[in-house]
Amino acid sequence: MSAVAESFTHVVPLAGSDNPLAGLLARQRAAFNARGEPSSLAERREMLRKLEQALMDQRLALADAMAADFGGRARQESLLELFVVIDDLRYAQAKLKSWMRRRRVSANWQFLPSRACLMPQPLGVIGVIGAYNYPVMTTLSPVVGAIAAGNHVMMKPSSLTPRSTELMRQIISSLYKEEVVAVVTGDSSVAKQFSKLPFDHLVFTGSTRVGKLIMRDAAENLVPVTLELGGKCPAIVGEGYDLKTAAETIVQTKFLNAGQTCVTGDYAMVPEASVPEFLQHARNAIKAFYPKLVDNQDYGRVLIKSDWTRLSDWVEEARGRGAKVETFNPANESFGPDNRVFPPTLVSDCPTDTTLCREEIFGPVLPVLGYKTLDSALAHVNAGERPLALYFFSNRSADVERVLKRTISGGVSINGCGYHAIQHNLPFGGVGASGIGAYHGQAGFDRFSHLKPVLFMSKLTKASVFLRPPFGVLAAWVLGFMLHNRPRRENL
């Protein structure tokens, strides 16, 4: 780690506590409990508005910080990342009144005319652990839902992006009291301490391997978790779909942020006869998008040096097993672990038992696999862990329905890549090895709320009275009536 990074890697000091993290959590929980009642609509809206305005004011500084952390990153990519958070903030402010309302539900017919409702209440203190690939979005997007739901928040951004983390810390500390929203900074040992705290809910974004450790730590205190992980997200091109459109879309998403996107198409599956044409369109797209690599801020860097070596090893393993590897370096530039520029790489004829085909790549390498039938492609997908996202390109509605019904994934985009993950009304999350739980929009508000069930018993409701001991003929009749009578079908 560089000296600059080390200067930002510290635990926020807190006076009067031997354990700063536990002390901060205790103070946040005490402040939350001291309120007596949850924060009002106006208070929550103001908290969200302040964060929106601060991110707008600091958007260029945040983009510059992310570029410095990555050693080069397109400003447009960073502004797109910020847009996702800012758009979430605006949507939450617009919808918060309706989200906070009590939600009327039907009481059982045996208890009519009693009334029932679900009453949203904040959980308490929410912990958030962000990831390095999108340091602002993965840290602040869950915070939007947590604040909207009326919680206090402790967040731990990635230590691998020290400049972005420090700027976020400065922004948050200028907006909120530490007892309400706070940023904790530090290395992996601090993150380990953080994950062991008895939060009311803990959100983690990162790898499946680390997600297992986070869940194990949280389980010690019975802390519920939301885990946003990853996996091998397939991009399947259906028979008859325009190959040029599919190739350009997959390439655009795959090489965004140097492939370090959890919902990117990890690999492409194309009808066997169409693989050569798809590869040609993919080559053309790469050359058009990235005429240079090193001297090009539009082409991202692999953030971690060891990941550069890992990717190189995986590609060479595939090459040694007979795969065809194509790397693109249009301007004949030099790159390696030191400048962290990994060239866009296409891999075809790749054995399915190579590491590239078994593990999440998380880098600018796209394996292209041929398939004989759509059923065989789906069998390949279903043989692995549940992916965070699945992409299918097809204009045949029957094939689309087959894919939707026969696969299980965190989310799906048809004829596109990635953008389902930022829709307000589509919960974002994984399933199985790709994650637990989801947020965004109302799903985020609900995730960080307790929807407390409340029953208002009517004086006219006599079912419980008739079932009091000593049991006799009347109780037997009432039970018989309840057992043999069903509600009308429209109420089922």
Active site residues: 228, 262
Measured distance CA(196)–CA(46) in Å, rounded: 31
Question: How long is the chain?
Answer: 492
- Confirm if 428 and 134 have CB atoms less than 8 A apart: no
Instruction: For tokens 């700027």, name the residue.
Output: 167
Q: Which of 162, 156, 180, 182 is nearest to 171 (CA)?
A: 182
Q: What is the CB neighbour count within 10 angstroms for residue 487?
A: 12
For CA atoms 350, 234, 87, 252, the dihedral sign is positive
> Which tokens is 261 given?
């996107």
Instruction: For tokens 């309120």, name the residue.
Output: 35
Measured distance CA(407)–CA(410) in Å, rounded: 10
What residue type is assigned to position 348 of the chain? S
What residue type is assigned to position 453 of the chain? P
Of the CA atoms within 13 Å of residue 146, those in its CB half-sphere come to 24
Measured distance CA(85)–CA(300) in Å, rounded: 21
